[in-house]
Amino acid sequence: MTPPPARRTQGFRESVIRGMSRLAARHGAINLAQGFPNFPAPELLKEAAARAIRDDINQYAITWGARRLREAVARKYHAWYGMTVDPEAEVTVTCGATEAMIAALLALVNPGDEVIVFEPFYENYGPDTILCDAAPVYLPLLPGEPLDLDRLARAFTPRTRAIILNSPANPSGRVLTRAELEGIAELCRRHDAWAVTDEIYEHIRYGAPHIPIATLPGMAERTITISGASKTFSITGWRLGTIVAPAGATDAIRKVHDFLTVGAPAPLQEALATAMDELGPAYYDEMAAAYLRRRGMLGDALSRAGFGVTLPEGAYYILADFSRLSDLPDTAFAEWLARERGVAPVPGSSFFSRPELGRRYVRFVFCKTDDLLTEAAARLEGAGLREAKDLQR
Ligand code: GLN
């Protein structure tokens, strides 16, 4: 008999998103489950990385991030959002936004605290909170629906330490409006709570502006602004995340980060600094335009196949309602679609605190080449999903 694992690992399960990627591979299905692009990263970025390795930038960078990259991050926040950020005291580079989020929460949240999380959520936030021995408190924020600020006000308690904000949101596609952000900011100030943001999709939007909550009055001092390079530059495997936070919080976060990972890959940090300095507005405009086209392709295909679709305002996911197509629970339907129709989504229940809330949804990604989206569309539409209803039982 082996000794038991720690109790804290029992409060959450393995990532369903990554599990669906394995299932897609097993069935040879098109993987529209895990959100990673299948198209190349910018040439300039790849060249810069290769050059950095050849130049022997191959040892540890400064734990909290190579100076060049921290300076590029500070310039970015100033240029895009008018924020004044000190690269020496307020910027930390991490192994992806994923490490940024857990490092920030471990640095700020005490055991027994509460952390507010909107659902549907990206699946890390609950486990991150539980690893802090804190309790997630869930509130609905659905595709196409406004935030219920009265309900949010009632969710704050004396134990609320932080609220996690993901805008543009995975998987709902919601982009928080200025009015919604002002309402949230007011509650954070009133209850002396942190806003911990995941802004990884900040440049993938379809018209709505991106407003970091840190730019609202009184919020810079209580906001941890997280972002990263994975989605903006199509390099999810490089694992480069960034944190902007007030100096005191940054000190605490850097300590946690140091003992979690020491630091992010040094040559890749150099390459990212080069890309951030050299890629101009045209790069970001073209990327957003390409995603708008892909959103249209997948959205049309899903509608034609009979799914209920609300187009996202940002990010690259569609949380589609399949209740007109099947009575199966979401997990069985997602597995059936991967196995029998060759397109793998993520079951909706993995984005909700209670599985029944996600029962009628599956999530598809559209961060894929036109070829692959065209093939996926043909499989979804041509298969006559409506007619196959009985076969699914
Ligand atoms: N953010 C991506 C998604 O939601 C990738 C998740 C992951 O595997 N880290 O699919």
Report the CATH number at residue 357: 3.90.1150.10
Rounded-to-integer distance, Cα 108 and Cα 59, Å: 30
The string of pLDDT tens digits covering residues 132-185 is 999 999 999 999 999 999 999 999 999 999 999 999 999 999 999 999 999 999
Query: Quick check: 13 pLDDT over 80?
Result: yes
Bond preceding residue 171 cis, omega within 30 of 0: yes
Per the structure, the count of domains in the chain is 2
Pair (318, 196) in one structural domain: no
Percent of the chain scoring above 90 in pLDDT:
94
pLDDT in the model for residue 78: 98
Kindly tell me if the per-residue pLDDT of 316 is higher than 60. Answer: yes
Mean pLDDT of 216-243: 98
State which of 278, 301, 322 marks the end of a domain.
278
Q: What's the pLDDT band for 187 if we cut at 50, 70, 90? A: very high
Count of CB atoms within 10 A of residue 374's CB? 13
Separation of 31 CA from ligand 1 center, angstroms? 12
What pLDDT, in 10s, does the model give residues 318-343?
999 999 999 999 999 999 999 999 99
Q: What is the pLDDT of residue 31?
A: 97
Residue that finishes a domain, picked among 229, 245, 278: 278
**Any atom of ligand 1 within 6 Å of the Cβ of 18:** yes
Residue 385: predicted pLDDT:
67
d(CA 33, CA 157): 36
For residue 72, the model assigns a pLDDT of 98
- Sheet (strand 91-94) strand order: 91-94, 241-244, 223-228, 194-198, 160-166, 114-119, 135-140
> How confident is the model over 64-106, as pLDDT tens digits?
999 999 999 999 999 999 999 999 999 999 999 999 999 999 9
What values do phi and psi take at 390, rounded to 5? Answer: -70, -35
Distance 387 CA to ligand 1 centre (A): 32
CATH code: domain of residue 82: 3.40.640.10
93, 98, 241 from 103: Cα distances, Å: 11, 9, 11
- The amino acid occupying position 4 is P
Sign of CA dihedral 80, 194, 363, 360: negative
Confidence at residue 383, expressed as pLDDT on a 0 to 100 scale:
61
pLDDT digits (tens, 9 = 90+) for 19-73: 999 999 999 999 999 999 999 999 999 999 999 999 999 999 999 999 999 999 9
Answer for the pair 65, 229: CB distance below 8 angstroms, yes or no.
Answer: no
From the CB of 17, is ligand 1 less than 6 Å away?
A: yes
> Within a domain: residue 171?
yes
CA of 51 to the centre of ligand 1 (A): 29
Q: Is the pLDDT of residue 302 over 70?
A: yes
77 shares its domain with 184: yes
Residue 390 has pLDDT above 90, yes or no: no
Kindly state whether residue 151 falls inside one of the protein's structural domains.
yes
In a domain, 47, yes or no: no
The encoded tokens of residue 102 equal: 């857990």
Which residues span the domain enclosing 24? 7-41+282-392
**CA Rg value for the chain:** 21
pLDDT over 60 (residue 392): no
Same domain, 266 and 303: no
The closest residue, in CA terms, to atom 5 on ligand 1 is 35
Helices (H), the chain: 16-27, 43-54, 67-81, 96-108, 125-131, 149-155, 178-190, 247-261, 266-278, 281-305, 330-336, 370-382
Q: Write down how long the chain is.
A: 393
115 & 136 share domain: yes
Do residue 96 and residue 26 come from a single domain? no
Tell whether 98 and 152 lie within a shared domain: yes
Last residue of a domain, one of 254, 278, 302: 278
Dig out the tokens for 306 from the structure. 């009979």
197-228 confidence digits (pLDDT tens): 999 999 999 999 999 999 999 999 999 999 99
Cα–ligand 1 centroid distance for 56 (angstroms): 31
For the record, the structure tokens of 298 come out as 């997948």
120 CA to centre of ligand 1 in angstroms? 14
Q: Ligand 1: which residue has its CA nearest to atom 2?
A: 35
Is residue 343, in this structure, part of any structural domain at all? Answer: yes
User: Looking at the structure, do residues 224 and 244 belong to the same domain, yes or no?
Assistant: yes
pLDDT for 391 beyond 60: no
Residues 259 and 144 placed together within one structural domain of the fold: yes
What does the mean pLDDT of the chain come to? Answer: 96
- 47 forms beta bridges with none
Q: What is the model's pLDDT at position 11?
A: 85
- Of ligand 1's listed atoms, the one at least distance from the Cα of 35 is 10
Q: Are residues 106 and 240 in the same domain?
A: yes
Cα 190–chain centre separation = 27
174 found inside a domain = yes
CA nearest ligand 1 atom 1, residue: 35
**pTM score:** 0.96
Residue 50 maps to a domain = no
Q: Are residues 147 and 262 in the same domain?
A: yes
Asked if 254 and 63 touch (Cβ cutoff 8 Å), the reply is yes
